[in-house]
Structure 1
Amino acid sequence: MQLHRTMRNHLTVPVAAVAILAGAPAAAQDSASVQLEVLQTKISELQKEVATLKRDITKEGQEGVRAAKQAAATKIAPPFKEPSIRMSTSNRPTICSSDGRNCISLTSRLQLDFGGYNYRPNTAATTPQDLIGGVIARRAQFGVIGTFLDDWEYSFVFEGGGSGGATSVVLDKGYLTYSGFKPLKIWGGVLSVPYTLDRATSNNNTTFMERAAPVEVAAGIGAATRSALGITANDRQWWAGAFLTGPASGRTSLDARQTAATGRAVFLPVLANDASLLIGGDVQYLFDAPTGASELNLRDRIEMRIDGNRILGTGALPIDSARVLSAELAGTLGSFHFQGEYFDFNVERLPGNGPGLDFNGYYVQGGYIFTGEKRSYSTSSGSYGGVVPSRPFDWRTGGWGTWEIAARYSMVDLNDKDVLGGRQENLTLGLNWYVNRNIRFMFNYINGRVDKRNSGGDVGAAYQAISARAQIAF
């Protein structure tokens, strides 16, 4: 509209001039020629102005279209959000995508053990003749764990510690899980197989520095940390899982033929804030022994791992198969907690190597937390978790952390027929100081003995051991 008005105003004068020239007398031709030149000049200037106006209008229109497109794009495209960097509830440094569906966390665990033995072999034929105390990094782990697209979880953790001192860094865990089919969870990789109550409890949260000997003997057959494929499921008051397992983590190719299966199921008829009761059962079956010779050695240390020697053990047994049945009972009442497990072992030897063998073992333990905290049940693992201090240690505010006392008796008997693996008994007393969520100090005293004989006579021993652990884990 503005362009039309401008053109109309500028064209009025030349149109009127042309009308006057049309009616002028011929005698005024010279004067008319001059006026015509003037008018032609003005018309040329007006044409230039019209062209300029057209260009301005076209430019303004294009800019308006671009602005409209940008406004529409802004409305359609969501604003970019930066990934979040935070600390998890267990103080793990964690990076998550803006929608929270993908996260990766650093995880680490350091357990420094200090201790010594008062070891008394029964005879000169006992092996070993001495156990050496000292300091070891029982566990020195570092790795990453995380989730992606909500339903996938992964873990890659390397271990630089070990019983009796580490010699190299090995892959401790490396597995992937999928939980898209609720309440099922599918596992695959190298992992700590959740077999038995004590093994389902993280070593970050166990009441004592080491698990009971019968637990370790059973897990060493076809569980513990090894390659595995399995499935678990749980709800608030039950947990169940089954795994097919292979060789242990870090083992050689000679052990690749090892194949076993484990199953575990627990039920909690009581699960309240101040009380709980867990009842469970486990089964394990070894199809193929760990070496080409089909040999299996049931053995363990004396529930303190600073010295790597073992006095309890059957020696290599040529076997056809092995089976373990076990039962679990555990619970809490306020700040008091208890648990126990019983194990029944059966080993079938290869034809021509003797009859089948039956062994057994069990442990019972209890603990009390002086400062009022409780051990809570973990629905995801079907076991009891650790202790989180309500008042972490801080001398400025008067917080002294959490203190716990505990006691355990364990027994495992590996004597049957012509196999004399020994009978081991341990009484362990423990004192735990939970400084905060990530740091704790543990103190254990063990009084035990191994009754063992061979063709040469008594090869048993009695012992006492005292140990301490400084632990930091996140």
Structure 2
Amino acid sequence: MKKLLAFISALLVVSTLIAQSGEPGFESYWHNGFIVKSNDGNFNMKFGGRIMTDFAWFSYDNELEDLFGGAKSGVEFRRARFFNSGTVYKNLNYKIQLDFADGTAVFKDVYIGISGIPAIGNLRVGHFKEPLRLEVMTSSKYMTFIERAPGVSFVPERNVGLMAFNHTKNKKVTWALGVFRRSDKQGNDKVSNDELNITGRISTVAYMNTEKKQVVHLGVAMSHREPGDGTYAIKSKPASHLAPTFINTHTIAGTDHENVFSVEAAVVSGPFSLQGEFIDSDVNAMNESIGKLDHFNFYSYYVYASYFLTGESRKYSTSSGAFSRVSPKKNFGEGPGAWEVAVRYSKTDLTDKVIEGGEMSEITLGLNWYLNPVSRIMLNYSIADLPDLGKANIIGTRFQIDF
């Protein structure tokens, strides 16, 4: 890790020296991160990162406390990431983003890309997000709640793979299609087990009025997955990463394949927004009770609403089909910053036939204070309900800066 940190520091120093050396054609500036670029547009580099520190407090019904223990509170660095991204000769791009939250370097986005390919658009190879679910495609820097809804666990967020993607000329439609393999935290899959995951997503802007800050987003995604080791599992926590796992299918042996389908929708009208998704997983695996392959079905959905008390609006990126950075009308110090309230309901069912993974529904209330475009403080209160087992009350806070 020391060598890696030294390398990152050296990159920062070199880029700064280039920008300040008087070398013609290069400039440096700050735009939510440190950027160095050439005036001819052929080269650019950006350095940045994010720090998210979470605190959580729990209270359980007696039944849940007996099952999951008596932990009452916790604290963690949820994310501690640094990245360097850039463009080389206009059409070659790259990114290396590492997370040090657990004390070791974990690959997040580490890839090389080519843009401007005729009939395709863009090609990316490396370790990056599979194109599935609006909440996943929206960066953790811009999430409305501290944690994504439980359905995020149905498919790993990132894997190593090859993906083609593009958008129409008017940016009303985006699409992505990739082939992936399950990889470790360094993005490697060194054992050849013929695993194959094909994931695709298409989204559209059904309506947009930039003056009134209105947008209607619709999307659909599918993933066909063939686990190389013949196993499958889904597990999920409530609305805090510090909480224990509440529902879990455990390992389903003899899995032949899995088909995942999701639909997504979002509406923004000025300070108000509404968003929801449904994800369904159909698993073809051995059912020991009947001695042959069988279908097991699991699902999860959520819907949430949010409102900016200070009049801001969620910003939508037409090129990615996801949401991006919120900028307060007046930063804290010059004004109140931006204040947002939100409420979310979610339900996840991991029980079908002989698989008793459990059910969980959850209501989460959120309050977000955006001090400026790169920092915010979040407060969530959640009630997680497990039928026949009891309820859990969770209070979570996050202190965040990204650049």
* Stretch of structure 1 that moved more, 173-182 or 433-442: 173-182
Distance 1:301 1:405 in 2: 23
Q: Secondary structure at the match of 2:145?
A: coil
Aligned residue in 1 for 2:319:
380
* Stretch of structure 1 that moved more, 464-473 or 352-361: 352-361
Aligned residue in 1 for 2:385:
449
Task: Evaluate the alpha carbon distance shift between residue 97 and residue 346 of structure 1 in structure 2; reply closer, same or farther with a 3 A threshold.
Answer: same
Q: Unaligned 5+ residue runs, structure 2?
A: 1-21
Task: Evaluate the alpha carbon distance shift between residue 84 and residue 171 of structure 1 in structure 2; reply closer, same or farther with a 3 A threshold.
Answer: same
Q: 2:182 aligns with which of 247, 254, 257?
A: 247
Aligned residue in 1 for 2:129:
192
Q: Deviations over 1:105-124 (max 9, x none)?
A: 11111000011111235268
Aligned residue in 1 for 2:30:
87
Distance 1:82 1:234 in 2: 31
Aligned residue in 2 for 1:310:
245
Distance 1:312 1:143 in 2: 34
Letter in 2 for 1:105: K
CA deviation after TM superposition for structure 1 residue 278, in Å = 1.2
Distance 1:80 1:112 in 2: 40
* Stretch of structure 1 that moved more, 275-284 or 425-434: 275-284
| Residues 391, 400 of structure 1: 8 Å contact kept | yes
Q: Secondary structure at the match of 1:412?
A: strand
Distance 1:210 1:391 in 2: 26
Letter in 1 for 2:394: A
Letter in 2 for 1:107: G
Q: 1:468 aligns with which of 380, 397, 401?
A: 397
| Residues 59, 72 of structure 2: 8 Å contact kept | no
| Residues 121, 130 of structure 1: 8 Å contact kept | no
CA deviation after TM superposition for structure 1 residue 256, in Å = 6.0
Letter in 2 for 1:112: T
Aligned residue pairs total: 371
Q: 2:338 aligns with which of 402, 409, 416?
A: 402
CA RMSD of aligned residues (A): 2.1
| Residues 85, 95 of structure 1: 8 Å contact kept | yes
TM-score by structure 1 length? 0.74
Distance 1:97 1:260 in 2: 39
Letter in 2 for 1:246: R
Aligned residue in 2 for 1:367:
306
Aligned residue in 2 for 1:281:
220
Aligned residue in 1 for 2:6:
none
Task: Evaluate the alpha carbon distance shift between residue 264 and residue 255 of structure 1 in structure 2; reply closer, same or farther with a 3 A threshold.
Answer: farther
User: Does 1:228 find its partner at 2:144?
Assistant: no
Q: Secondary structure at the match of 1:276?
A: strand
Q: 1:414 aligns with which of 350, 356, 359?
A: 350
CA deviation after TM superposition for structure 1 residue 80, in Å = 6.8
Q: Secondary structure at the match of 2:311?
A: coil
Aligned residue in 1 for 2:139:
202
CA deviation after TM superposition for structure 1 residue 254, in Å = 7.7
Distance 2:159 2:382 in 1: 29
CA deviation after TM superposition for structure 1 residue 194, in Å = 2.8
Distance 1:325 1:171 in 2: 26
Distance 1:204 1:121 in 2: 36
| Residues 225, 249 of structure 1: 8 Å contact kept | no
Bigger Rg, which one: 1
CA deviation after TM superposition for structure 1 residue 362, in Å = 0.6
User: Does 1:143 find its partner at 2:83?
Assistant: yes
Q: Secondary structure at the match of 1:96?
A: strand
Q: Unaligned 5+ residue runs, structure 1?
A: 1-78, 452-457
| Residues 64, 391 of structure 2: 8 Å contact kept | no
Distance 2:324 2:23 in 1: 39
Q: Deviations over 1:94-153 (max 9, x none)?
A: 122242311111111100001111123526862x22345221000000121111111121
Distance 1:409 1:85 in 2: 44
Distance 2:252 2:72 in 1: 29
Distance 2:368 2:378 in 1: 5
Letter in 2 for 1:392: N
Aligned residue in 2 for 1:299:
235
Q: Deviations over 1:315-334 (max 9, x none)?
A: 10021101111111111111
Letter in 2 for 1:226: N
Letter in 1 for 2:246: I
Distance 2:356 2:285 in 1: 15
Task: Evaluate the alpha carbon distance shift between residue 420 and residue 371 of structure 1 in structure 2; reply closer, same or farther with a 3 A threshold.
Answer: same
Task: Evaluate the alpha carbon distance shift between residue 117 and residue 80 of structure 1 in structure 2; reply closer, same or farther with a 3 A threshold.
Answer: closer
CA deviation after TM superposition for structure 1 residue 270, in Å = 0.5
Aligned residue in 2 for 1:129:
69
Aligned residue in 2 for 1:10:
none
User: Does 1:213 find its partner at 2:150?
Assistant: yes
Letter in 2 for 1:265: I
| Residues 245, 261 of structure 1: 8 Å contact kept | yes
User: Does 1:238 find its partner at 2:167?
Assistant: no
Q: Secondary structure at the match of 2:141?
A: coil
Task: Evaluate the alpha carbon distance shift between residue 80 and residue 179 of structure 1 in structure 2; reply closer, same or farther with a 3 A threshold.
Answer: same
More strand by share: 2
Distance 2:129 2:202 in 1: 17
| Residues 444, 467 of structure 1: 8 Å contact kept | yes
Q: Secondary structure at the match of 2:155?
A: helix
Distance 1:172 1:344 in 2: 25
Q: 1:106 aligns with which of 33, 47, 67?
A: 47
Q: Secondary structure at the match of 1:217?
A: helix
CA deviation after TM superposition for structure 1 residue 272, in Å = 0.9
Aligned residue in 1 for 2:265:
329
Q: Deviations over 1:160-202 (max 9, x none)?
A: 11xxxx1422222210111122672111101122311111101
Q: Deviations over 1:192-243 (max 9, x none)?
A: 22311111101100100110001x12223xxx02212111111321111111
TM-score by structure 2 length? 0.87
CA deviation after TM superposition for structure 1 residue 367, in Å = 0.3
